[in-house]
Amino acid sequence: MSAKRLKTHRVEKPWGRHHLWPGFADPAPDGEPVGEIWFQDEADDAPELLVKYLFTAEKLSIQVHPDDKAAQAAGHPRGKDEAWVILAAERDSTIAIGTRQPVDRETLRAAALGGSIERLVDWKPVSAGDVFYSPAGTVHAIGAGITLVEVQQNVDLTYRLYDYGRPRELHLDEGIKVSDARPFVPDFAPEEAESGRTILAEGPKFVLERWRPPSHRTIVMPQGVPGWFVPVAGAGNIGGAPWKAGETWLIEDAAPLSAEEGSDILFAYPTAKRLDTVFQS
């Protein structure tokens, strides 16, 4: 099949919510809050990328992810670059990404142990439409009151540096070792590649695009390069099957696409550089 709808997996988190997002059923009021929804391919337990929705009522831990080399040395298949597209945020919502100034490892460890790391990281205000590509090694935390889509290298590997007193394991030795604790400077600004196609982030581990496509196109992927089709608004047909917002599809080879007016689609694929084109008329 050229287009496959991925299965959803709900993940309960202490920082999650009971009111999620249109298209996703809310957990029971007396149940555990849901923080993440993952989209997984049952036929492949190790694809290169993973797509998630995140729903935050509280801050996530201050954390860091290793790069490929460090992750593989620890027995994992890959490291973890990730990107976030903000769908909604409360007025005072923030994301911490990078530190306010360069911090050496000894200072970072002491700050994590004492709690002052909350003041070392750079909390940036966010609103709907903001995009961040966070390379491995970046010290970061997602704040409260945010709904976002995350695209990441597919590995469940997080080193918590600080968790606001929650009774969860920290990973200071591993985390301090892989942290690149310095101010975050984005190395890419979104740009329009062609009509209806905007490049949100470009490499080094994947490319993330946003589409508002004309009503009928064909997605064409190079041999061996899969694409993750993530509609956040709208509905249509892909590869002969109906799609709607809140789903994620895996695209291989070519898939005819139709989209109703106003559709808003994210699309990701694991290459360092954007494809010259992904649409054919």
pLDDT tens for residues 17-72?
999 999 899 999 999 999 999 999 988 878 999 999 999 999 999 999 999 999 99
Give the pTM. Answer: 0.96
Which distant-in-sequence residues (6+ apart) come within 8 Å of 35 by Cβ? 11, 12, 13, 14, 15, 16, 17, 54, 55, 56
Tell how far CA 178 is from the center of its chain: 20
Q: How many residues does the chain have?
A: 281
Which distant-in-sequence residues (6+ apart) come within 8 Å of 6 by Cβ? 39, 40, 41, 51, 247, 248, 249, 250
271, 206 in Cβ contact below 8 A? yes
Q: Read off the pLDDT of each residue in 153-164 and give the average, rounded to a whole number.
A: 97
Catalytic residue among 17, 109, 160, 197: 160
Tell how far CA 76 is from the center of its chain: 19
For CATH 2.60.120.10, the residue range(s) in the chain are 7-178, 191-280
Question: Is residue 64 helix, strand or coil?
Answer: strand
The reply to whether 160 belongs to the active site is yes
Q: How far is residue 22's CA from residue 220's CA, in Å, rounded to a whole number? A: 29
pLDDT tens-digit series, residues 63-114: 999 999 999 999 999 999 999 999 999 999 999 999 999 999 999 999 999 9
pLDDT tens-digit series, residues 206-247: 999 999 987 788 999 999 999 999 999 999 999 999 999 999
Closest to 36 measured CA to CA, from 158, 125, 208, 132:
158
CATH number of 7-178: 2.60.120.10
What average pLDDT is seen over the chain?
95
Q: How far is residue 185's CA from residue 15's CA, in Å, rounded to a whole number? A: 27
Residue 203's pLDDT is: 84
Q: How far is residue 248's CA from residue 265's CA, in Å, rounded to a whole number? A: 10
Q: Tokens 């009522």 label which residue?
A: 57
In this structure, whether the domain defined by 191-280 belongs to CATH 2.60.120.10 is answered with yes
Residue 215's pLDDT is: 73
42, 138 in Cβ contact below 8 A? no
Token digits of residue 179: 């942290």
Query: CA torsion, points 237, 257, 201, 161, in degrees to nearest 10?
Result: 30
Closest to 33 measured CA to CA, from 55, 17, 51, 53:
17
Q: How far is residue 133's CA from residue 123's CA, in Å, rounded to a whole number? A: 15
pLDDT tens-digit series, residues 125-146: 999 999 999 999 999 999 999 9
- pLDDT grade, residue 5 (50/70/90)? very high
Q: Is the pLDDT of residue 269 over 90?
A: yes
- pLDDT grade, residue 1 (50/70/90)? low
Closest to 130 measured CA to CA, from 185, 203, 232, 200:
200
